[in-house]
Structure 1
Amino acid sequence: MKIAFYGSSLLSSYWNGAATYYRGMLFDLARRGHKITFYEPDAYDRQKHRDIEPPEWAEVKVYDATEDALRGVLAEAAAADVVVKASGVGVFDDELLEGVIAHSRPDAIRIFWDVDAPATLAEMRGYEKHPLRKALESLDLVFTYGGGPPVVAAYEGFGARRCVPIYNALDPATHHPVEPSPRFASDLSFLGNRLPDREKRVESFFLEPASRMPGKSFMLGGAGWEDKPMSANVNRIGHVYTRDHNAFNCTPMAVLNIARDSMAEIGFSPATRVFEAAGAGACLITDAWEGIELFLKPNEEVLVARDGQDVAEHMKALTRERASVIGEAALRRVLAEHTYERRGEQVDAILAEEAGRIRERSAA
């Protein structure tokens, strides 16, 4: 099938945490014979901070963040068998949603792919005229990259015909064990951009434990932390390109995952960082969220912290030897159960089902 995918960016992870998710999912779909065209706006300096050049397995069309350019790329939706509008493009989100519905063919599969379902659902609850509320009646599917039963129930409650979580996963060709790098040497590292609904949790789970453990070294990667007060044993290194993620994950004794407020409340939403770290064989410490045991087994494949005190206790007890055992167990688990090949197989089957349903509807 020809898939037109309107998203934030395939080429850059700069202020774009969904990049590795898009790459993993769409590469596998392309491998299965689908023809991918990804449309991304030239916005937020993402094109100045590319991690990759356009890949062989997808055509990438970068358009100016103008209304004229928007009209041009929306017109191309008419040529696609599957039209996807992702959440969080960052510019013209409402216009893109309306436009892909208006320009897609009647026999096309129309999908809203939500990479931040808790935030989207909160917006819809707070605004009766939210554009997505009306759009749901014209969409065939809602995919989310997490959320589990609570998110499915919420979307169906708003009128979605079908909502399916397509969880983050591992692309073992991209994220895998590498040799440690002195650049990323630390006892505990965390990678995440500074966002309003994440900052307080970073303070609680990362910065406060660091301030209480002056004898240990901490590393903070991600954009926006330059003016944030923190103890001297925290080394802030700014944006970390995806090409460096393996070394960033492999080098420290442990890597910390911290969910944003909304994700932690709903649960069932492992971030891409969880699978990237596990795929690199890292010892992962994660804040507690519902459903984690579906992905990694606590105390054997991952360490779980309810608060900053738990993080500190884990770090006091952890040795390099135990960290290696946990990381190796996590790597085995994600390779067996949580790869993008598995996720791509799921999406491919759903697309085939939907195409059959549309054919039956047209023949009736």
Structure 2
Amino acid sequence: MHIVILGLSITSSWGNGHATTYRALVRELVRRGHDVLFLERDVPWYAAHRDPSGTWAGRTELYASLDDLRERFASEVRKADLVVVGSYVPQGVDVGAWVQGTAKGVTAFYDLDTPVTLAKLERGDFEYLAPHQVPGYQLYLSFTGGPTLGRIERELGSPAARPLYCSCDPELYGPGGGKPRWDLGYLGTYSHDRQPVLERLMLDAARGWPEGRFVVAGPQYPEGVVWPPNVERVQHLAPPEHTAFYTAQRFTLNVTRADMVRAGHSPSVRLFEAAACGVPVISDAWEGLDTFFRPGLEILVSHDTRETLGYLRELPESERQAVGQRARERVLAEHTAAHRARTLESYAREAASGRAP
């Protein structure tokens, strides 16, 4: 297939989780023989934080404006077998309208932020998607599965809402050697709704265990955050550094955004990346988590400071390693980028044939 993807970013992982997902997916599609063109709006905040070129596959082009996009890439969109528009694309409503009016092949909306998107639509916030556009996409590809998919079809009129979860790249994420440097770490951009959970599950644990070693990596944290003295801060961590970061932890923490907790069935890329490294994950609780990992066996669930400290100080080392190994085996069997590429292929081909995916 000839595939065109219009996404938030593939060139910069600064302050977003989209880039790593797109890179892994595009690479696997290219490996399977598809021609993939990724179109990205050239914006100053990503231009100032580009990751090293050559860390992603396919063809990538930057466009300066909506007019520039229309003038330079109309023929590519018109001849494509599949055109995908991602969430949070600048001027996404206008981009989507242009794609739906131009493309001759299958069109899809890829929502890497489904619960956030649905909450925005309820508020009348049509930043990158408008409700009337949903029926015009033959596929609604969602980072969230479960009951939310039925809601997208019933309430928004999608012909086919299907899960296309985030994944990990097993060529980039794997076990490391050496002694862990930190007892617990967290990787994530600041979010006001995640911060109270981070405080409860990690920062309060750090305050309650001064001998413990903790680390938080990610940008945009406000100056008012009070970091305990045993919590190290890393402002930004490029994807090539993620594996070394995860494997330097005894445990890693996953904290989910409030909208995604409410929707359930919304795994974050941190879950799969850390698990692929064989590092046991301590996660907040949300509906559907047990469809990706078995709690207590492949993932550890914490509701409060006491539970977090219990894992850190009381779980035997042999069981800690076993949890990480079982999670890694689960990821390699079900949650790699190669799995997602094959899934996308099947959705696109069935949509093109006129059959419901």
Cα offset for 1:4? 0.9
Which deviates more from structure 2 when the two are superposed, residues 77-86 or residues 39-48?
39-48
Which residues of 2 match residues 1-364 of structure 1 at below 5 A? Answer: 1-54=1-54, 57-64=57-64, 66-73=65-72, 75=74, 76-89=76-89, 91-105=90-104, 108-127=105-124, 131-145=129-143, 147-156=144-153, 157-180=155-178, 185-225=181-221, 227=223, 228-357=225-354
* Secondary structure in 2 matching 1:30: helix
Q: Deviations over 1:87-115 (max 9, x none)?
A: 012x222221222112222xx10100000
User: For the Cα contact (< 8 Å) 2:170–2:276, is it kept in 1?
Assistant: yes
User: For the Cα contact (< 8 Å) 2:93–2:126, is it kept in 1?
Assistant: no
Q: Deviations over 1:282-323 (max 9, x none)?
A: 011111111122111111111111233322222221344332
Number of residue pairs the alignment of both structures matches: 352
User: For the Cα contact (< 8 Å) 1:211–1:230, is it kept in 2?
Assistant: no
Identity %: 31
Structure 1's 80 and 42: CA in aligned 2 closer, same or farther, altered over 3 A?
A: same
User: For the Cα contact (< 8 Å) 2:3–2:35, is it kept in 1?
Assistant: yes
User: For the Cα contact (< 8 Å) 1:51–1:243, is it kept in 2?
Assistant: no
Q: Name the amino acid aligned to 2:137.
A: L
Q: Name the amino acid aligned to 1:196.
A: H
Cα offset for 1:59? 0.2
TM, length-normalised to structure 1: 0.90
TM, length-normalised to structure 2: 0.92
Q: Name the amino acid aligned to 2:239.
A: T
Structure 1's 128 and 13: CA in aligned 2 closer, same or farther, altered over 3 A?
A: closer
User: For the Cα contact (< 8 Å) 1:74–1:99, is it kept in 2?
Assistant: no
Which deviates more from structure 2 when the two are superposed, residues 250-259 or residues 193-202?
193-202
Q: Name the amino acid aligned to 2:186.
A: F
Q: Which runs of 5+ in 2 are unaligned?
A: none
Query: Residues of 1 paired with 2:87 and 2:97: CA distance?
Result: 13
Q: Which runs of 5+ in 1 are unaligned?
A: none
Cα offset for 1:71? 3.1
Structure 1's 334 and 127: CA in aligned 2 closer, same or farther, altered over 3 A?
A: same
Cα offset for 1:149? 2.2
Query: Residues of 2 paired with 1:111 and 1:129: CA distance?
Result: 17
Query: Residues of 2 paired with 1:243 and 1:21: CA distance?
Result: 14
User: For the Cα contact (< 8 Å) 2:3–2:34, is it kept in 1?
Assistant: yes
Query: Residues of 2 paired with 1:198 and 1:43: CA distance?
Result: 26
